[in-house]
């Protein structure tokens, strides 16, 4: 079974630009979560989608947004990039529904903002 | 506010020794506690997980000990190997959201 895939793997953007990251969950998984990982802050929760609906949102500014498609694939968008947005963005998927809630991560997208 | 507190931040262990990483939480509504292992340049990988109705779970060299009354859980790595050198994260689930500890960088010296 293929794992969680994320594209692109690496991205370099300029401050003020916007970026879209893509995530394909494990087949059959309906829940997708996004995290920002930085050396100083660890894993910070961005948002979680289940069946195209955002169920949870972390404490990030409105510049961070996401969506989920009917095939469970998800995208996240960051507008008006700031230097502090440089991070590893991780996508994770679960089946959703009842426990055990095994969550599997993708390899991440390394975003560098210059 | 950090919902899950993890310690130590870094750990150095001799090959063959036992590595112990601890996590503490306050929210008694958490109902699932996984541990993740992350190598540089990779996403975290699910290592082992436990439900609060179980006090211990063992998978190979990895054991989770869970103390519900103390609201603490820990990861024990027996016979630690250099290949175990990685960053370990504990997490806790509440509803549909996972809350992560800040990570422990483990180095196993040959």
Chain A CB contacts of B51 under 8 Å are 99-100
pLDDT number for residue A99: 63
Which regions of chain A are under pLDDT 50? Answer: none
**CA dist., res. A70 & res. A50, Å (int):** 10
Do residues A66 and A58 make contact, with C-beta atoms less than 8 angstroms apart?
A: no
**Interchain contact, B51 vs A100, CB within 8 Å:** yes
Tokens of B47: 């290592």
pLDDT number for residue B91: 95
Mean local confidence (pLDDT), B72-100: 95
pLDDT tens profile B46-57: 999 999 999 999
**CA dist., res. B72 & res. B13, Å (int):** 22
pLDDT number for residue B35: 97
pLDDT tens profile B16-33: 999 999 999 999 999 999
Within chain B, residue ranges assigned H as helices are none
Tokens of A75: 């995208």
Q: Between β-strands A53-57 and B45-50, what pairing exists: parallel, antiparallel or unpaired?
A: unpaired
- Which residue is closest to A94 within chain B, CA to CA? B96
**Interchain contact, A42 vs B103, CB within 8 Å:** yes
The whole-angstrom distance between A82's CA and the closest CA on chain B is: 23
**CA dist., res. A38 & res. B98, Å (int):** 17
Handedness of CA A91, A105, B68, A97 (dihedral sign): positive
Give yes or no for B100 touching A (CB within 8 A): yes
């Amino acid at each position: 079974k293929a794992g969680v895939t994320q594209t692109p793997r690496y991205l370099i953007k300029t401050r003020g630009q916007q970026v879209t990251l893509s995530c394909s969950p494990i087949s059959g998984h309906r829940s997708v979560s996004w995290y920002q990982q930085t050396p100083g802050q660890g894993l910070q929760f961005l948002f979680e989608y289940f069946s195209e609906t955002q169920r949870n949102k972390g404490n990030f500014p409105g510049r961070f947004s996401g969506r989920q498609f009917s095939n469970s694939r998800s995208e996240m968008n960051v507008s008006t990039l700031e230097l502090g947005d440089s991070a590893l963005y991780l996508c994770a998927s679960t089946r959703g529904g009842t426990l055990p809630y095994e969550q599997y991560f993708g390899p991440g997208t390394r975003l560098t903002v210059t | 506010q950090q919902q899950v507190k993890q310690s130590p931040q870094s750990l150095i262990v001799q090959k063959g020794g036992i590595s112990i990483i601890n996590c503490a939480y306050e929210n008694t509504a958490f109902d699932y506690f996984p541990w993740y292992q992350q190598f540089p340049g990779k996403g975290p990988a699910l290592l082992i997980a436990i439900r609060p109705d179980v006090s211990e779970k063992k998978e190979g060299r990895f054991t989770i000990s869970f103390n519900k009354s103390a609201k603490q859980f820990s990861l024990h790595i027996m016979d630690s190997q250099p290949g175990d050198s990685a960053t370990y994260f504990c997490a806790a689930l509440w509803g549909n959201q996972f809350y992560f500890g800040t990570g422990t960088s483990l180095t196993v010296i040959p």
